[in-house]
Amino acid sequence: MRKLFLLFFFPLFGTAKQPVPQIIPEPVELKKLSGSLILNSTTPIVFVSDDSTFKSVLEAFTSSFSEQTGLAATIGRIAVDDTSQASPILVAERKNGLAEEGYEMEITPVLFRIRASKPAGLFYALQSLKQLLPLKRSDYFEIPCLYIKDYPRFSYRGMHLDVSRNFFPVDFIKRYLDLLAFYKINTFHWHLTDSNGWRLESKKFPRLTSVGAWRADRTGIPFVLSQPSGEQEPATYGGFYTQEQVRELISYAKDRFISIIPEIEMPGHCTAALAAYPQYTCLNNPVPLRIPTGYPGDLKHNFCPGNDSTFLFLQEILDEVIELFPSPYIHIGGDEVRPVSWLNCPRCQKRMKENKLSTPGELQAYFTERIDNYISSKNRKLIGWDEIMEAGISPNAAVMSWRGKEGGIAAAKAAHEVVMAPYRYVYFDFYQSAPELEPDISYAGLSIDSVYKFEPVPAGLNTREKAFVLGGQACLWTENIQTTDRVEYMLLPRMLALSEALWTTATQKNYRHFVDKLDMHFAQLRAKSVNYSRSIFNVFIQPNYDSATGKVIVSIYDQTAGKYTIRFSVNGNGDNPASVYTKPFAVSSSSEIKAGLYSGDSLLGKITVAQVSIHQAFASNNNFTHPSVGRLVDGVHGSIEPYDGKWVYWSDSIRSFQLDLGAVKKIRGIRFRCLEDQVGNALLPEKIDIEISKKDEKFISVYSATEKEPRSAMRKIHGYQINTSRKKARYIRFKFKTSSYRHPDYNGKNSVFIDELIVD
């Protein structure tokens, strides 16, 4: 019998000693054994396998090992009884009974021994081993002796990337896959098509890429402002992946035990495809069919389910997709379908009448069912966002729950396979710390500690239903991400938290231990020139009014579970807070609080700043009709984030309320701030009236203004300052009229956002 050996010969470098093991994701079982395995420049290392199916995995490890350490490596076949080879030896053995992706690894002073039942298990063992190797080249390595038994909690561990909104080259997709594999993510959800660009070559329909892959260049213009491509405007931004490149990437992913799930959006999010083949859109749509370069103009066109040719077109596209991708799942999107084009289309209305469909939702269900049946006929499974649960999907179909846990619960109870991707925990396009500290903000915040708390199995499922939860994934939408550096910044280190949420058993998870491991992983990422985020080192300042004491209580918290020291200052000079934060504290006067996270005297992140305003109306005892309005005099200011809990907002057409200062006081002025965010329909008040009175009888006007048009296209905080000429008053009456402006693209219900009414 002959076995496979890998021979490593160590040249002379510096010296290095491996610290305490810091593997991410945390293994199921890790025991420290006495001693270390010492490798030096004179030691040839022999890698042995008793299974030929392990060969390609070991060969790939040879290459990555050499790249990481600079150590020369060769591979050859040597008889098992050949005594001429020196120890230590890495032995890769097949052991039946282990999980398909599981492994055992033992490191003794003379031996690496890895046992796995499948090549995937060996691959993941070697990813763990790579994390144990020193980062710097050395002629002397010391690796601690360990025993590891490991296997994943979930079979589906996914990471998504949107390449439609912004396009990324093949070499970067490979780099992305490398990062996924290193942290044991086994599924790449590739969002290939959307309204903003079609990225997959089609041999049958070449206009999908000659037209649909290109749009007007709006580089540097925010997605919320970027207007659709003009009719005669050059379409110079975009790109697509050829079928040859796709096959190359599928093979590249397969070598890393990653399955690629393609997403072909339908029946909405499809303007790029319809711009190329307009015969498959609805009739009587007054909106010009132009490829959006941002949000404006998106979600105005759908595939026409009243046209049988639409289904033939999509089936031929799916034939190409299925021929290219071996994945058992084909993702069709199915989310955020706006029904306006269907309501105005005579073909769709005829289809609804013939099939006794009473609502656009039922028409979408009809569409989804036809596509589902076709995919099933090809021995593949349809998967889509949780809106497809409203359709008549087959038992074969799987559901990706993004709007929360409810869609996943409903799907599991209906015996559908489920992948959990709730946006509040795993949407990596959300910013990572206090919004004012981030290079760009979108939608909401998502800190790394929140990602770590992600639990894919929602409460309320019984044992049978839990079995339908395959696992979870994070999503990286790229509306606001135009460069590969920015992709990496948004991806990491949050993907490391995701990897433990999906691989590590619940009992083994420990956030503080995870944080302790990050220093070593940050060093590894730096060694690979990865542009990871350091937002974990930014702190949050949380002021809250305490009715018991009548003061504002300030809490400060960080994302490192107390590993480092928080320092703060109140109305201090300079940017180096000196006081060590140990517990919440009270402020009784207007204050500027600064805080940062420190290791010794070194600031690790950025300085966070918060304002507290104590003024004449602060904590006044007012009987507001709407209790939340009382927060308008709690001394606390809102951030640029609309839903940070500090803004008071309403969508009533008119909102009036009155402040009682408790006594007649001399008023120098009145100040407040409003948040404007057209995407979220947060608009400045159309009309503001402010009146004052000494006796709650005769009120006099001190301010009246009308503003019918938005001021800012981007999210912005606007300040209002009213000079009352030191008039005396006890009562202040406010009347705000909500804007009646209708944005052509963001046509939800308008709201007014105000954070604090300051009476000077």
First-to-final CA distance of the chain: 90
Residues 6+ apart with CB under 8 A from 468: 411, 412, 415, 416, 417, 418
Separation of alpha carbons 635 and 638, rounded Å: 10
Strands 187-191 vs 156-162: parallel, antiparallel or unpaired: parallel
Of 390, 397, 391, nearest to 416 by C-alpha is 397
Please provide the size of the chain in residues.
760
Assess contact for 429 and 477: CB atoms under 8 A: yes
Q: Which of 269, 301, 416, 521 is flagged as catalytic?
A: 269
- What is the Cα–Cα distance from 66 to 63, expressed in whole angstroms? 5
φ, ψ of residue 425 in degrees (nearest 5): -115, -25
Closest to 732 in 3D by CA, of 685, 628, 662: 662
Does residue 626 have an active-site annotation? no
Q: Which of 378, 236, 346, 357 shows the shortest CA–CA distance to 282? A: 346
Catalytic residue among 29, 67, 323, 336: 336
Which residues are CB-neighbours of 111 under 8 A, at least 6 positions away?
Answer: 37, 87, 88, 89, 90, 91
At 609, the amino acid letter reads V
Residue 735 parent element (H or E): strand 716-737
Inter-residue contact 617 to 662 (CB < 8 Å): no
By DSSP bridging, strand 138-150 and strand 14-15 are parallel
**How deeply is 659 buried, as exposed, middle or buried, from its count of CB atoms within 10 A (0-12, 13-18, 19+)?**
buried
Active site residue 191: no
d(CA 45, CA 69): 14
Distance in angstroms (rounded) separating the CA atoms of residues 652 and 648: 13
How do strand 602-603 and strand 591-599 relate by DSSP bridges?
antiparallel
Catalytic site includes residue 194: yes
Active-site position among 101, 104, 162, 194? 194
Q: What phi-psi label fits residue 77: left (phi over 0), alpha (psi between -120 and 50 degrees) or beta?
A: beta
Query: Nearest-5° angle of CA 705, CA 707, CA 710?
Result: 150
What the block records as the tokens of 402 is 């993004």
Count of CB atoms situated within 10 Å of the CB of 22: 18
Residues 6+ apart with CB under 8 A from 265: 191, 193, 194, 195, 332, 333
Catalytic residues, by residue number, are: 194, 269, 336
